[in-house]
Structure 1
Amino acid sequence: MSRDGDRNGLEPTAECEAFRDRVREHIAAHRPDMPRLPGTRSPEAAQLPMYREWCASLFSAGLIGADWPERFGGTGAHDPLRDLVVDEELADAQVPRPIGAWNLVCGALFAYGTPEQQGHYLPRIRAFEDLWCQLFSEPDAGSDLASLRTSAVRDGDEWVVNGQKVWTTHAHIADLGFLLARTDPGVPKHQGVSAFVVDMRAPGITVRPLREMTGSSDFNEVFFDEVRLPAGSLIGEPGQGWAIARTALAHERSQSLREDSATNAVRRLVGLAATPAGDGTPLIQDDQVRRTLGRLYARSVAADLLGLEGVLKDAAGGTRAYDAPVVKVLFTETNLDIATYALELLGSRGVLVEEDPDAVDDGHWQKAFLFARGFTISAGSNEIMRNLIAERGLGLPK
């Protein structure tokens, strides 16, 4: 799809080329003066106004959210190939992507929101006036989300929420949260869950950042202590939370912006190997180094082509339950091996982080390594993904 470097060997259509030019023109005209955020990193507080303006520009130009129903500002047409072009160009230009749970909650609001909720929240999402977080996971309800214990009890015209969420990305800067809470403990666990919109500044909410091995604190614990939500905060009907969450997640997974390509990462690795080492000789002149780079490049091309195949299947309506897990495992493990080999090439310099003036490439590879490990865990660990592949793809027993 990419014209530069023939990333995957496929010729782009004239329509894709014209759209890519349009994306590039928009980036050139509106790019913010801030770096692309790796992994799950949150913008710094001082950058938020610029970041909101940039994300809003992507919506207003129809580069993001074009698939929304026409009555909410979109075209009503989902074009995975255009999504891929946007992904590639944002990555190549090293500009930030819209983060947060906006793409999750809009799917819920399209299908289950009241006219009042749709009329209030959806325009604000497109203008990026509200940054959302996802309040799903709990200390004892991660993979088995239906076991969640956070409760919401009706009290007149309000719901009273008590409990705890964890691994909530961007909660420390979020304006609103998309909450799942148990409203009926007397029915089977999947049936007693409801969905709510939460003002993250409401009394009784405490957000506690979790410090990660990357040095950042973009995940958080969120505590609810007698938090009162207006009755209008409920999305859908009581007990519909599980169905709402499934609808929202399906929309998010079909539209989500993807990480940078594996071939981009390995090309940067080749550049590192081509840089003169301590004795002035580039490491890439070593036969073993070249062989390792070749193996990593072959894996990266395979990962990117498999991802493209998924996009094409999505466009044709032919995706299978195990397609995405296969891509996820191959990409994340290739990406981790690329970052690991970069630190091996750096030798003793591989321990220097970005704050050190002698760090190579501003400490890029150290950060890449730490985030690469996280990618193998987030969005469903690779162990869980292998189970899905084995059971749904290969028909193996549980």
Structure 2
Amino acid sequence: MRILIYEAMPDITRADVITRIARDYENQGYTVFLLLDEDVQLLKRNDIVKPHIVNCLNVIRSGVPKTGVPFFATPLNRPLNKKFLEDPSIKTLEEISAYKSYFHEKILKKFRPDTIVIWNGLMDYQKSFISLVKSFNPTQQFLFLESGWFPQKNTYYSDPQGVNAASSISRATPPPLDPAQTSEIKKWKTLYRQSYGVPKSRDNGYYFVPLQLETDTNITLFSPFKGMKALLQWVIDNTDPVRPIVVRPHPLSDTNHEEFNRLNDRIHVDGNTPLQKLIAESHAVIGINSTVLLESLIFEKPTIALGQGIFQNSNAIYLQPLDSSIPKNLNNTAPQVVLQEAFLYYLKERQRPIPNSDLNSKRKTLPFDIEITRYSTIEQAISAIKIRARQCLNSLFSHTT
């Protein structure tokens, strides 16, 4: 079986995850090929809200050439990059997509994958690749990967249809648990809470609202609110006016969102208290579709979602209509806890640990002719020096400003 993993690699951390998963597939006997892009042109990403290019010298820095997994990296096109920075229009992005598709098409024709693996799959540049694949093979099988839930770090899940609200998981209703499964999930919940030093929940009367990155696909594709300010204003207007609202900035946000304290006297932005403590001591958790909503089920909290998510048909999380207010007093009943535990068990059974595969080995030999990117030892050394120099300059600049 042939597995092609497509990764544009704008994130150096994810590169390590991808290569470990690739090696794991190889260890299972599959023929694996990585299709990578040297750079990614983005109109915005995380807190960067202007057009920019993520230069993926990360291909070298991530150690991909040392893993032994065969790969091809779409070469840089400096004239197109310059044009994008000068004119970041849809037309320019289409030209870039056509340039990359030329190389992608050649790999697809040569490798003829049985399954294509993509991390997330909801990004615009990934959608272009998926459309290209389907134009060649309308019945092509895909497997979409995303970070797991308990915890997100070092775990992942896979789905044949997509991730988050686009996944097959979001369309499923978990089956009831038998007594052994119920006992298992209850013990797991207890151990999970204890691991964070908050074995018991208590109600300190506040609503807890975890913020999300406004450029994340969970917000751009599956949220009725395009900004966190609009979310908080809805919560202010549609919840018990005597209850405080504790707000936690997203850990990847470049700002502490202290400005939200001025929206209303009820709001308190807290980026210091541990997440699990904020969940455990809340009256209820309200969010759009954050993973925090899933974690709140472990603490048996009333949990309210305002957007679409992987929980869509679980019955474990209340899907709040925007045209009505949240009841003043929320209590988690025993039947609701049963539904929460069934969903937690369902998710827990589907996440997997990131493989701890050996990433240093001899390059695999493919049983057919296909173009492979090779970086010489000198190129790798020069790249490492350049990246290190850039890091030092950035650090120096940040200290001087």
TM-score (norm 1): 0.24
Identify the structure with the greater helix proportion: 1
TM-score, normalised via structure 2 length: 0.24
